[in-house]
């Protein structure tokens, strides 16, 4: 009998893993790299009314393709899906860099985002193919470095390239990196072809893609472009619920469903998805608003406020790498998600005590605790999902838990944003002298804050601090639910992979 293990030496696996890290770095960087370049892009191309779509188009395309590409890798092979994602990403990057109009830039960002979704999902599924579970835990911990670095470096790289070259180089820089990943994949990645003839679940793909599209647009636009109670948001939210329900029903009868329902019958996979969604909401969702706290309450600049997230990212990296080494050494993992939820809750509770008098060092320590808690489960949940799935469903399991984290992050950002803005309005009306506090959208703009009289500026800072305290308190029940789910996780021994061939 021919083994279904990949016929690659350990050295070749390391080369391939390096290519995966390059692909992951590119795709995650491009979600944040344009933040500082958008004003310059508008100056060159015009289209201010469509500016938000430059980012929204990328995020939307990524959100749709992440849950789909994992299953396509199961059916057609991970190597061709990964190469297709790389090709789409590189073509989209080159086209974005050369885009002559705003409309074309947005269209090319869709192509780029679709490729990025394939890369993100394939990155975890291929790690599952390359390494046996204990070793995989250590290497997947390294992928946390990619996402942490990109979240901090993205705006800095975008600003540097815009100032010293052109905003177009924020896209062109992907081309040599992507070509290196393509060459590495073609030379060293060898996987057996999938057995049998693939049967594509077209109804499931359409329904899930439409549901994720409605959900992503709802969470992106709610409270920003449209009011929460507006017909557009209610329609998108209702449409997402109906489409998700229709997708679940369709998957029951599909021959090869996008995310097989049998995965959810395994408690480990269900817990992994819940913890991933809660971790995305409370880790990445809250982190999005922390720089805003430092700018409005602490009066620091935009660049410095972003750099103040470094302690959180350091905590996340330390925990991710430590968790990976612990699993590689002991084979035990089932207590890490519960520890993640508990430590994250402690970090959120500490952040809830911050006010206008809290020092930056104290705030950084609190953020390091939150980051450490998030890091204890960030990559572990992927390992748990992969260990719960048969090899034929490895891609679907990997992309399913990754999609759960993305959807949790999107929902958390929307809900937390609504809490902060509503609580700020209430507190500002009470604290600012004469009720002269600006609206929330203006209060977060440095140029507006600088024009406020001293007493009004102090009232705005106190109102913002109280709004953030209430935000963190509101996140605690969500973490408690995540902890309750994590405590249901049982230890299932990590299934060993077939021995690797000799070089």
Whether residue 503 lies inside any domain: the answer is: no
CB–CB of 384/272 below 8 Å? yes
Q: DSSP H helical segments within 165-289, as ranges?
A: 169-172, 174-188, 202-221, 231-253, 261-264, 267-279, 286-287
CB–CB of 414/223 below 8 Å? yes
Do 354 and 472 lie in one domain? The reply is: yes
Whether residue 501 lies inside any domain: the answer is: no
Sole residue written with tokens 């929204």: 56
For residue 167, give both structure tokens: 């905003």
Do 230 and 299 lie in one domain? The reply is: no
Q: Which domain holds residue 308?
A: 262-492
Do 249 and 268 lie in one domain? The reply is: no
For residue 422, give both structure tokens: 């509503």
- Three-state DSSP at 67 gives helix
CB–CB of 387/494 below 8 Å? yes
Can you list the residues of the chain whose pLDDT is less than 50? 1-6, 498-503
Whether residue 499 lies inside any domain: the answer is: no
Do 33 and 127 lie in one domain? The reply is: yes
pLDDT at residue number 337: 94
CA distances from 138 to 61, 128, 172, 386, 495 (A): 30, 12, 32, 14, 16
Whether residue 117 lies inside any domain: the answer is: yes
Task: Using the 3D structure, point to which of 189, 216, 241 is the last residue of a domain.
Answer: 189
Task: Using the 3D structure, point to which of 255, 273, 291 is the last residue of a domain.
Answer: 255
pLDDT at residue number 495: 64
- The CATH number covering residue 415 comes to 1.20.1250.20
Angle, vertex CA 324, rays to CA 262 and CA 496, nearest 5 = 55
CB–CB of 34/158 below 8 Å? yes
- Give the number of other Cβ atoms within 10 Å of residue 136's Cβ: 25
Distance from C-alpha of 140 to C-alpha of 500, rounded to nearest angstrom: 19
pTM of the predicted protein model: 0.84
Whether residue 331 lies inside any domain: the answer is: yes
Task: Using the 3D structure, point to which of 169, 189, 209 is the last residue of a domain.
Answer: 189
Do 182 and 218 lie in one domain? The reply is: no
Do 282 and 373 lie in one domain? The reply is: yes
Whether residue 502 lies inside any domain: the answer is: no
Do 363 and 405 lie in one domain? The reply is: yes
What domain count does the chain have?
3
- From the DSSP assignment, how many helices (H) and strands (E) are in the chain? 23, 0
Whether residue 500 lies inside any domain: the answer is: no
Q: Using alpha carbons, select from 403, 154, 152, 157 the residue that is nearest to residue 287.
A: 152
Whether residue 287 lies inside any domain: the answer is: yes
Distance from C-alpha of 310 to C-alpha of 148, rounded to nearest angstrom: 9
Do 95 and 227 lie in one domain? The reply is: no
Residues 323-351: pLDDT tens digits? 888 888 888 888 999 999 999 999 999 99
pLDDT at residue number 482: 94
pLDDT at residue number 367: 92
- Output the CA torsion 352→355→359→363 (10° steps): 20
- Give the number of other Cβ atoms within 10 Å of residue 76's Cβ: 16
Do 212 and 298 lie in one domain? The reply is: no
- Three-state DSSP at 156 gives helix
pLDDT at residue number 325: 87
Do 291 and 429 lie in one domain? The reply is: yes
Do 245 and 286 lie in one domain? The reply is: no
Do 229 and 296 lie in one domain? The reply is: no
φ, ψ (nearest 5 deg) of residue 143: -65, -25
């Amino acid at each position: 009998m021919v083994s279904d293990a990949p016929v690659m030496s350990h050295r070749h696996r390391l080369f391939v893993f390096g290519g995966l890290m390059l692909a992951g770095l590119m795709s995650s960087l491009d979600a944040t790299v344009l933040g500082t370049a958008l004003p310059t892009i508008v100056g060159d191309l015009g289209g201010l009314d469509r500016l938000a779509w430059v980012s929204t188009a990328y995020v939307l395309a990524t959100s749709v393709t992440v849950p789909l590409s994992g299953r396509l890798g199961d059916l057609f092979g991970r190597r061709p899906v990964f190469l297709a994602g790389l090709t789409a990403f590189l073509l989209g990057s080159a086209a974005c860099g050369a885009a002559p109009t705003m409309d074309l830039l947005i269209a090319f960002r869709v192509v780029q985002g679709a490729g990025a979704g394939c890369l993100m999902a394939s990155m975890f599924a291929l790690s599952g193919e390359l390494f046996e579970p204990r070793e995989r835990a250590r290497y997947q911990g390294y992928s946390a470095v990619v996402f942490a670095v990109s979240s901090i470096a993205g705006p800095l790289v975008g600003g540097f390239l815009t100032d010293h070259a052109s905003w177009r180089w924020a896209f062109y820089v992907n081309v040599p990196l992507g070509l290196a990943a393509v060459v590495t994949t073609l030379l060293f990645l060898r996987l057996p072809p999938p057995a049998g003839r693939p049967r594509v679940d077209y109804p499931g793909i359409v329904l899930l893609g439409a549901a994720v599209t409605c959900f992503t647009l709802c969470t992106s636009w709610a409270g920003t472009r449209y009011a929460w109670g507006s017909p557009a948001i209610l329609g998108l939210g209702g449409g997402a619920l109906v489409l998700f329900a229709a997708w679940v029903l369709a998957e029951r009868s599909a021959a090869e469903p996008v995310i097989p329902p049998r995965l959810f019958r395994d408690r480990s996979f269900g817990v992994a998805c819940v913890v991933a969604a809660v971790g995305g909401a409370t880790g990445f969702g809250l982190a999005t608003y922390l720089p805003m706290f430092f700018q409005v309450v602490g009066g620091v600049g935009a660049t410095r406020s972003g750099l103040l997230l470094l302690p959180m990212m350091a905590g996340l990296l330390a925990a991710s790498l430590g968790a990976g080494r612990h699993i590689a050494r002991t084979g035990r993992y089932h207590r890490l998600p519960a520890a993640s939820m508990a430590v994250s809750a402690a970090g959120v509770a500490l952040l809830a005590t911050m006010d206008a008098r809290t020092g930056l060092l104290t705030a950084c320590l609190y953020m390091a605790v939150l980051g450490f808690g998030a890091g204890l489960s960030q990559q572990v949940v992927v390992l748990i999902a992969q260990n719960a799935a048969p090899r034929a469903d490895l891609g679907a399991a990997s992309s399913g838990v990754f999609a759960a984290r993305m959807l949790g992050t999107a929902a958390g950002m929307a809900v937390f944003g609504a809490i902060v803005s509503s609580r700020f309005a209430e507190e500002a009306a009470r604290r600012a002298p004469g009720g002269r506090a600006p609206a929330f959208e203006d209060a977060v703009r440095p140029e507006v804050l600088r024009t406020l009289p001293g007493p009004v500026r102090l009232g705005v800072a106190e109102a913002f601090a109280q709004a953030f305290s209430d935000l963190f308190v509101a996140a605690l029940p969500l973490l408690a639910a995540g902890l309750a789910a994590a405590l249901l996780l049982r230890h299932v021994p990590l299934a060993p992979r077939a021995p690797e061939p000799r070089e």
